[in-house]
Amino acid sequence: MSAQPVNPNLPPDHVTVFIDDVEMAVPKGSMIIQAADKAGIPIPRFCYHEKLPIAANCRMCLVDTEVGGRAAPKPSPACATPVMDGLKVFTRNEKALKAQRNVMEFLLINHPLDCPVCDQGGECELQDLSLGYGRSVNRFVERKRVVADEDMGPLVATEMTRCIQCTRCIRFTAEIAGTYELGGMYRGENLQIGTFDGKPLTTELSGNVIDVCPVGALTNKVFQFKARPWELTARPSIGYHDALGSNLFHHVRRGDILRSVPRDNEAVNECWLSDRDRYAHEGLSADDRAVAPLIRDGEGFREASWDEALAKAAQILRDNAGDALGVLAHPATSNEEGALLARLAEGLGSGNIDHRIGQLDLSDGAHAQAFAMPVAEIEQADAIVIVGSNLRHEVPLLHQRVRKAAKRGAKVHVVNSVDFDFTFAIASRHVVAPSQLADAIAKVDLGDAANVAVIVGGVAENGPHAAAVRKAAADFAAAKNAKLCRIPQGANALGLSRHGVLPAARDAQAMLREPRKAYVIYGIEPGLDFADQRTALTALGAAQVVAFSQFACQSTRRVADVILPIGALPEVEATLTNLDGIAQATAAAGKLPGQAHSGWRVLRALGGDLALPGFEFTDLDGLRAGLAPKTVQVAKGGAVAPASGGLEVAASQAIYRVDAVIRRCGALQSHPLNAGPHASLNPADAAAAGIGEGAMAKFSTATGTATLQVLLDARVAQGSVWIEAGYGATAPLVAASSLEVARA
């Protein structure tokens, strides 16, 4: 072979190859299959996946190669053969096709003939490729092997006899999720894929093994046996349970969302989806969905027509306009609905409007800001500082980006009140009580790192010392020339901030501490969504309340005078703004239940009844034509009283209790990560209080008491108690800066 390049005009990092006589320039070090994919030349494969490490164990991608006029003695795996200058590849000649057909024959030796009852039927890679590469006659008559299934939990169904040992699922849990939960057991023809210990998958990304599995071995347990793929219509949507806004498709049959799958977007979620976004649709069919307008009638409610309910709501708002009115919106409310709520409050003369219902310390007037370093660039960072966040549970796919950075060599530093689990190496840890988080940030040593991201999460943002932590993080970022990335506390907290759902007068905490005569609550489950539940329920219970709600739950019925049923995000057309500041649109997928309407339609009707300006549009296009960023001089709230004795409270959000829809997903509620209400103490603090592992203890605060089971956990900073928010049992503790603990 000549040392001279085939094409001397190529960039120095490229070579010339010929695939099926098509000449192309490809990067050095790339594999044949990558070059072929780039050129649109199909090569069959099972084990290869562009996001996973190369395994080269299925051999389905065998191709014929030739260099310098000399043919390779045997076929080469396209996924594991690097390109070289002048390489000729033949994917469809007799030698390649014979090899591919032989591999297919071996794969089918033990594969069961159960396509008619397999949930993967119609979207099975093995089914598709066997049509083109399979033989019409099976030459093997030996009995097919059978592999016992194992229970991988409530989300992933298994039929391991169908497994072809491609190892995609193993590589996903090892390299992407970082939990190393799956592996190969035994050898040769006895090889099996499993979890070793027979326990359920615990990664927050487990549903992705369904997507990467090329056969029906791993399928969606919630969707299982409900529909065939050709019966479904795909509707583009986005995840609304964290601020990342993962792109996805809802698969719909006759108005019912039956499953959700990832939609590729390299800038946001790549091709992955968190379990929280994948299985959330199950909560839409809860028994307590609000399906008709309800008006309070004595101690109960009665169904009413929309005209009557809107008239009642309008009367409440007319009678309590101005400063007597408070407007509270859930931070996942869409941009369109948020803009109309801002117009409603402005038209009624009220500056009391806010979406920051889960945040305690708003003394600095802070609100959501776009990441200074886009999510897609975080994986290229040299150093990352995580402040006050259980990142794996807060934004699972942001955690996965940080893992990619760590695998590249980035140093990850953590400042937390609990030494939370991460799936990457930690360069330095500062585990301190919540009141010391701000001081601990300055102690982080970045060395000579140039490209640095500082990620501030919910434990800090929602805690009683949030303002001090935000200032310390901003000062640290400025001093180190780092990019500050504060995670918005809500799926659309950034969009609502941009569209004026912010207070010019009282913020969320102030309008509950200083009760108003009437409230509008939008998309909120009052019993669990507020930071200070006791104060919120007291204020709402003594006022007149118009509730726009997806659920007519007990806590909504307890405080509301009118319940107006509205659709959840998968059921409406809307836009949300993610943590990068990108507005992303959704299409209506599921049908609206009963008499429910899109929130913007109900707000338009109410604004029309009140004759307010800004409600003259007739359709969604008209509404969007009038949308524009709105600047609000945000009122600063009062500071939270500092901790005085006792243990400090470190509260993180339970991964599957973040909002009303998720809390109604049966599969997620039975997941191992949904640990239930409990309190975790450092063993030293527990010993001082005379409390042992598993004992029941009484926790007393200024806002109430709670009796919880105690777990001893050395990861908790001494002097602190860690609880997970989102449970009724832990709600009295979330707003406390300190508490006393004693044996129950």
Three-class SS string for 606-661?
HHHHCCCCCCCCCCHHHHHHCCCCCCCCCCCCCCCCCCCCCEEEEEEECCCCCCCC
Distance CA(377)–CA(399), nearest Å, equals 13
Position 12 scores a pLDDT of 84
Q: What is the DSSP string of 226-263?
A: S--GGG-EEEEEE--SSTT--EEEEEEETTEEEEEEE-
pTM of the shown model: 0.96
Q: What sign does the CA torsion over 75, 81, 86, 89 have?
A: positive
Among 693, 705, 694, 703, CA closest to 741: 705
pLDDT tier, 512 (very low <50, low <70, confident <90, very high otherwise):
very high
What are the Cα distances from residue 703, in Å, to 264, 310, 328, 433, 710? 45, 35, 21, 20, 20
Instruction: Kindly tell me if the per-residue pLDDT of 110 is higher than 70.
Output: yes
Q: Which domains does the chain have, with CATH numbers?
A: 14-107 (3.10.20.740), 139-285 (3.30.70.20), 294-364+493-625 (3.40.50.740), 375-486 (3.40.228.10), 647-743 (2.40.40.20)
Range of weakest confidence among 189-193, 466-470, 614-618: 189-193
Phi/psi region, residue 322 (left: phi>0; alpha: psi -120 to 50; beta: rest), is left
Contact call for residues 317 and 607 (beta carbons, < 8 A)? no
CA angle at residue 663 from 662 to 669, to 5 degrees? Answer: 95
pLDDT tier, 641 (very low <50, low <70, confident <90, very high otherwise):
confident
pLDDT tier, 724 (very low <50, low <70, confident <90, very high otherwise):
very high
Position 54 scores a pLDDT of 96
Distance CA(71)–CA(146), nearest Å, equals 40
Range of weakest confidence among 187-196, 241-250, 368-377, 386-395: 187-196
**Residue range 281-295: average pLDDT?**
97
**Residue range 579-605: average pLDDT?**
97
Distance CA(465)–CA(740), nearest Å, equals 19
Helix, strand, coil percent content, the chain, rounded in steps of 5: 30, 20, 50
Position 334 scores a pLDDT of 98
- Residues in a beta bridge with 709: 696
Phi/psi region, residue 283 (left: phi>0; alpha: psi -120 to 50; beta: rest), is alpha
Q: Which residue has the tokens 């500062």?
A: 430
Amino acid at 297: D
Instruction: Kindly tell me if the per-residue pLDDT of 197 is higher than 90.
Output: no
Position 643 scores a pLDDT of 65
Distance CA(399)–CA(374), nearest Å, equals 14
Instruction: Kindly tell me if the per-residue pLDDT of 1 is higher than 60.
Output: no
Let me know if 619 is exposed, middle or buried by CB neighbors in 10 A (0-12, 13-18, 19+): exposed
Distance CA(438)–CA(679), nearest Å, equals 24
Q: 7-50: per-residue pLDDT in tens?
A: 777 888 899 999 999 999 999 999 999 999 999 999 999 999 99
The percentage of the chain sitting over the pLDDT mark of 90, rounded to a whole number, equals: 92
Phi/psi region, residue 75 (left: phi>0; alpha: psi -120 to 50; beta: rest), is beta
What is the CA 180 to chain-centroid distance, rounded? Answer: 21
Instruction: Kindly tell me if the per-residue pLDDT of 467 is higher than 60.
Output: yes
Question: How does the average pLDDT of the chain come out, rounded?
Answer: 95
Position 665 scores a pLDDT of 97
Q: 372-427: per-residue pLDDT in tens?
A: 999 999 999 999 999 999 999 999 999 999 999 999 999 999 999 999 999 999 99
Position 314 scores a pLDDT of 98
What kind and span of H or E run contains 721? strand 720-725
Tell me the Cα Rg of the chain: 28
Position 235 scores a pLDDT of 97
Among 85, 120, 74, CA closest to 11: 85
* Residue 509, token pair as written in the block: 């905490």
Q: 646-669: per-residue pLDDT in tens?
A: 999 999 999 999 999 999 999 999
pLDDT tier, 639 (very low <50, low <70, confident <90, very high otherwise):
confident
Q: Which residue has the tokens 């609880």?
A: 723
Amino acid at 420: F
**Cα dihedral value 116, 119, 124, 128, nearest 10:** 20
pLDDT tier, 703 (very low <50, low <70, confident <90, very high otherwise):
confident
Alpha helical stretches, state H, 40-124: 94-109
Instruction: Kindly tell me if the per-residue pLDDT of 2 is higher than 50.
Output: no
pLDDT tier, 3 (very low <50, low <70, confident <90, very high otherwise):
low
Tell me the pairing of strands 192-194 and 300-303: unpaired
Q: Which residue has the tokens 């640095």?
A: 452
Residue 262: CA atoms inside 13 Å, Cβ hemisphere, count? 22
Among 678, 684, 736, 687, CA closest to 707: 678
pLDDT tier, 720 (very low <50, low <70, confident <90, very high otherwise):
very high
Tell me the pairing of strands 647-653 and 720-725: parallel
Question: Three-class SS of residue 102?
Answer: helix
